[in-house]
Amino acid sequence: MLRHLTTKFVLALLLAACSTTQGSVSRKSIQIDAMTVTWNDMLQLSSLHEAFPTEKGTSIYMFTRLFKDPTYTPRKAQLSNGWTVTGNIGACDLILRKQPANAQQLYDECRTKLAALAAPKPQPELGLKEFINLAERAVQQEGSCQWLGYDRGLDLTVRAHGSLASFSDERLFFAKLKCS
């Protein structure tokens, strides 16, 4: 669970670093089926731009997805001091690190409240092939870019460059798009 949350955090940081302005070609996001599919222009990172030259108007994009359903969201507990703690009981350890005046009382309250909540349903699995098909539909529906197909060799090469993602991670992939 911690590895999954850490990966999501790192992915969120990477996405934030890769996008500059909302609505520009650098970052697009669209709701399709029950997923939000997002693609970010990875060549805006200078190290990738130098390593992966492309034709004019073409760039390499990182595709990610997020399942939009409230039954899959992490658990949240509102504490008496106004803090909201998200996740599992281990998230309560943050209270002890922040060391407020009544840390032990808040820690106990946090553990009690989170333990009483039902665990969220695990997100449904979506294999890489299905995700690629979903991403292609999202790009076509959004309309400002042309889908150039998925190239596994390119995907693996970009993943390996700077250790951007593990080879087996099916929650993201890299593909070329031609955008206007």
Residues 98 and 130 in one domain: no
SS3 20: coil
Q: How confident is the model at residue 145 (pLDDT cuts 50, 70, 90)?
A: very high
For residue 45, pLDDT over 70 is answered with no
| 28 & 93 share domain | no
SS3 content of the chain, % helix, strand, coil (to 5): 45, 20, 35
Rg (CA), the chain: 20
Across all residues in the chain, what is the average pLDDT? 77
Q: Is 35 left (phi over 0), alpha (psi -120 to 50) or beta?
A: beta
pTM summary value: 0.58
Q: Are residues 96 and 60 in the same domain?
A: no
Q: Are residues 167 and 154 in the same domain?
A: yes
Please state the rounded mean pLDDT for residues 118-143. Answer: 86
Instruction: Assess whether 59 and 130 both reside in one domain.
Output: yes
Contacts 24+ apart (CB under 8 A), 89-98: 89/114, 89/115, 90/1, 90/2
Q: What is the DSSP string of 80-124?
A: TTS-EEESSGGGGHHHHHH--TTHHHHHHHHHHHHHHSPPPPPPP
Q: What are residue 66's DSSP bridge partners?
A: 36
For the chain, what is the domain count? Answer: 2
Is the domain of 60 the same as that of 130?
yes
- Grade residue 134 by pLDDT with cuts at 50, 70 and 90: very high
- Please give the residue range of the domain that contains residue 46: 2-69+124-179
Give the whole-angstrom CA distance, residue 159 versus residue 74.
28
Contact (Cβ atoms closer than 8 angstroms) between residue 26 and residue 20: yes
Tokens of 170: 């099916």
In terms of domains, do 108 and 64 share one?
A: no
In a shared domain, residues 24 and 81: no
Cα gap 110→112, rounded to integer Å: 5
